[in-house]
Amino acid sequence: MTGRIAFALCWILVLAFLALPILIVAALSFSSASYLTFPPPGFGVRWYRAYLGSSEWLASTWLSFAVAACVVVLATILGTLASLGLARLPRAMQAAFGALILSPLIVPGIVVAIGIYYVFARYRLVGTPVGLVLAHTCLAVPFVVTSVSASLAGLDRRLEQAALSLGATPWGTFRQVTLPLIRPSVFVGALFAFITSFDELIVALFLSGSGAITLPRRMWDDLRFAIDPTIAAVSTLTIVLAAALLGGAHILRQQQIGRQIGTTDG
């Protein structure tokens, strides 16, 4: 009995350790004090007002949204096409292309960042949104490929074969059979691509220059000077955004599972 209580205490403490820092930042963002202090003397939205009233913060927010939106389009199209191809390639080629495409998940961020910076600097891509989009797409694509590939692996190939045998063109088969079946996974990949770009900092540290300062980059620059509660407000907003996207991804995943069960049963 004491063992069971000790065990429960143990994992509940670890969960508190996981959740508390984030909850405290969220609580502090509603502080009415002009500096960070806990517990806050009162509550208010002055730091959200400060954020919304700052043209610099807003410009960075829009830039991050715009870059992430472009990354989503590029990464989702390239990644979905590649997943469809990968699923049909022989094993050895699958492994070779897979290693290239998934490697950004493993290669240390700093190595990727300075490698891209080294070449992009020569082509004047530093300090431009274009440079950020090109680089972030490489980092986001693995999430699209893993999500779409997983759903393709669970797909009943006979459905595609049936469509082809009934006279559908390969493109028609893709549009009317394959795509509807994998659509939730494509959206999950797109969501992860979005958040990967939106939260990305290490590449942005090198590529942002002075002309394309993303939201994480501006937070980083500010943190070097002062731990100002505005950052707590911005952080809370990005946490809420991430939670919303994660919730969306979860619902889409359930749909994907539902679709797969539906097709194998029917």
Partner 1 sequence: MATVAIASGRLSRAPLRHTAPILLVAPLALYMAAFYALPLASMLLRSIADPTWTMENYRRLAGDAVFLHVFGTTLRTALIVTLGALAFGYPVALALSRLRQGAATLVLIIVLLPFWTSVLVRSYAWMVLLGRKGLVNEALIATGLIDAPLKLLNTPFAVHIAMIHILLPYMILPIASVLRQIDGALLRAAAGLGAPPRRVFLQVVLPLSIPGVAAGVLLVFVLSLGFYITPALVGGPRDLMLSMLIAQQVDLLNWPYAACLSTALLAATLLLILVSLRLPGVRDVLRTATR
Q: Which two tokens stand for residue 88?
A: 């049909």
Q: Which amino acid is at 201?
A: L
Q: How far is the CB of 211 from partner 1 (least distance, A)?
A: 18
The residue whose two tokens read 């063109």 is 169
Do 143 and 199 touch, CB atoms closer than 8 A? no
Give the span between the Cα atoms of 65 and 56, in whole angstroms. Answer: 14
Buried b vs exposed e over 161-171: b needs ≥16 C-beta within 10 Å? eebeeeebeee
Give the span between the Cα atoms of 170 and 203, in whole angstroms. Answer: 39
Q: How far is the CB of 109 from partner 1 (least distance, A)?
A: 6
Max CA distance (Å), the chain: 72
Considering only CA atoms, give the Rg of the chain: 23
Intra-chain end-to-end CA distance of the chain, in Å: 49
Omega prior to 39 cis, within 30 of 0: yes
Q: How far is CA 240 from the centre of its chain?
A: 14
For partner 1, the closer CB: 54 or 94: 94
The residue whose two tokens read 């963002």 is 29
Do 208 and 140 touch, CB atoms closer than 8 A? no
Give the span between the Cα atoms of 258 and 252, in whole angstroms. Answer: 10
Question: How many degrees, rounded to 5, is the angle at CA 20 between CA 14 and CA 21?
Answer: 110
Q: Which amino acid is at 214?
A: T
Q: How far is the CB of 14 from partner 1 (least distance, A)?
A: 5
